[in-house]
Each structure stands twice: as structure tokens, then as C-alpha cells.
Amino acid sequence: MPISIAIKKYKYLYRITNLLFDLFFFVLRNILVINKTKNGNVVIVALNKLGDSVFTIPAMKEIIAYYKKNIVLLTYPETEPIYKIAFPELSIVIIKHEQLHFHDRIAGHFARKTLKFLCPGIIYDFTGSIRSASLIFNSRASEVIGINEEHYKGIFTSFCPIKKKPHIIDIYYDAIEAKIKCDRSEYSRTFPVYIEKNGKILIHPFAGWSAKEWNMEKFIDLSLSLNKEYSTSFVIPVNTIKKELLGELNRKGIEVLETSSTEDLIRLIKNSSMMVSNDSGPVYIASLLGKPTFTIFGPTNPMFHLPYGKAHRFIQKTIHCSPKEWEKLCYKNGGYIGCPVFECMNNLSLKEVYDKLKEFINELGILKKIVTA
């Protein structure tokens, strides 16, 4: 369980911790950090997961349009290809995972040295965690703008708490709106769609954690059902499943496409007709690439996550503990901190998913495969 979640259970401890952290970082930024850089680069810190990286793009467009030049993006190696799709001319600098400690939580000396080398005059924090706080806390940038946990408020000259409201894209708009007026229209947050009617239907059966995953056996049965009429393939990270399961999939006639990088995944999605998956990064990369998506939701709220536009559909089995309209996750933190039964996913039947997905496939006009005698 993250420390911040544990502390929040004890309100007074949470408030005292916030005050102490706020005072420490305020003193550090305003007294100890002298000779602030006023005319340096605009540095965007986006050390996010794959899906969240896609959600930052609309707000990032606003930053680029506002400043136009001297903008540098600081991100992970696996998310660089995502940003290259949206911003092919943007200067990108990589922070490697080995430059952070304690399971990617704390920025090390070399990560902070990388940021210092960029000579930031303005920093935008799109990461919103101790990861970015530990990276930028002693920066000499004259402005530090963005989102984070409240106990890191003292690091920022313009701070926005991470709000708990739909959509996740709005979190990043909120981060910059004190400085830049944003176009929050649906058009600005919808990626153009390009329907390839003769491509494969890709099925990605995994997610960030197990509570968000429907069921491997059901995904296999879904693929077998679709395979009767359409070309389908599993797309999975290399070495994710055991050789025995790979053999079983092969015997059942299910093609498995393994990826070893984000570039591999992007290449496969570009040549596909659509993506079917749990709430996971590949869905959002597919939306960025203009591909229709069908997402199976469980303990996470589609109102926060679903890509904008008519080419994106979802299914969710709503039960007593499903996240409410204003909640991003169920009360078990989306099952991340444990779920005793996985009821929302286990109760969602193959027929329910197949029927709704088939209806969507027909609307898209995806062509059936030619079966030779």
C-alpha cells in the first residue's frame, strides 16, 4: 500500500505531515535555492505509465502552442515513442528507470543531474508523485507548475492538487490552467480515427494489475468465437505467458504476436482494425493511433478513462462496489490493494462481451476473413 494512502486514513497525521512537508519545501525553494533560472528551457516532466502518457497529450499541445520553442520533454524510454507520434519535432530527453531508486519512486543523483543540465526556467510536472517531487525539489527553475500530492505543495510556484473528477485528461489541463488558458472542448481531446476495415482485431488480455483483468480463458474463448469470421490475434509483451499456454494457443489456432518494445506494439496497432482489451495502456495507444477500441472495465471507472469519440466503446458489469460516477476507482483502490472475489470481472460473461463487441464490429464495417475450402 502506498504510504500516502496509509497516512490519509489518519486525518490529523495527514494534516500535520502536509504542513511539515510544505514548510520544508517552501524554505528549500525560497531560501536555500538561490539564483533561480529565469530564461531557461520549458521542461515538461512526464514520468508516467503508457496509458497516462496518452492522456497528457491534449494539455501538452497547449504548452507547445503557448511557448512554441525551447521546450524539452523529460520522460521514460518506453513512453518516448508515444510522444513522438504526437510531437515528432519535440526535443525529448530520457530518464532511465535505473536512475530512480526504490522501485521507481525516488529520483537519484543522475536523474537530478539530467534535469539540471537542461537548464529549466519553467517546469511543468505532469507526473504528480514523489517520483517527480524528488526530481524537481531543488531545481533552480523560476517557475514550477503542475500537479502532485498536497505534501509537495511547497515545491511549486503554481500548484494544483490531483483532482478526483472525470476525465483523467482534465487532471493535466488543471495542472497548467493557472498559466495557460485551455481549450477543453471534446474536439481538442479526441484523436482522429482511421478505420482499416481489412486488418486484424488485436486482443490484449492483460492490464496493470490482476484486478483489472477479465479472464485469460474467457479471452481465449472470445478469440475463438471471433476467429470464425474475423482475423484476430493476441498481442502480448514477450515472456509474459508460459510456454505451455503459448503451445495451447497455437494448438487452438490463435495467433500470438509478442512485443518487446513500445515500438513493436505501435507497429502492430498501426496495421490492425481495432484493439480489444482491459483498461490498459495498449487501448489508449490505439486511440492515439486512430484505431477503434473496445475496453472491458471492472474496478476502474470508464468515465475517467474511456477515449473520446464514437469509435471507442466499453462494457462493464456494475455491482454494489463498483466505482460511483464521481469515483475513479472502487473502494479497494481499483483492486490494487487487494480484492477478495474479483466479482465485477468474474460475473461478466463471454456472451455479454461477445454480443456487444460483435455489434460494434458490425457498425465499424470490419470485413470478414475469406475462408478457403
Tens digits of residue pLDDT in 126-160:
999 999 999 999 899 999 999 998 888 889 999 99
Instruction: Go through 274-309 and write b for each residue having 16 or more CB atoms within 10 A of its CB, e for each that does not.
Output: bbbbbbbbbbbbbbbbbbbbbbbbbbbbbbbbbbbb
CB 56 within 8 A of CB 182: no
**pLDDT given for residue 14 in this prediction:** 65
pTM: 0.92
DSSP state string for 21-32: HHHHHHHIIIII
Residue 11 has pLDDT above 70, yes or no: no
**pLDDT given for residue 33 in this prediction:** 65
Domains of the chain: 3-189 (3.40.50.2000), 200-364 (3.40.50.2000)
Tens digits of residue pLDDT in 328-340:
999 888 988 888 8
Show the beta-strand stretches assigned E in the chain: 41-46, 71-75, 91-94, 100-101, 106-107, 120-125, 143-148, 158-161, 200-204, 232-237, 255-259, 272-278, 293-297, 312-316
Residue 4 has pLDDT above 80, yes or no: no
Q: How confident is the model at residue 253 (pLDDT cuts 50, 70, 90)?
A: very high
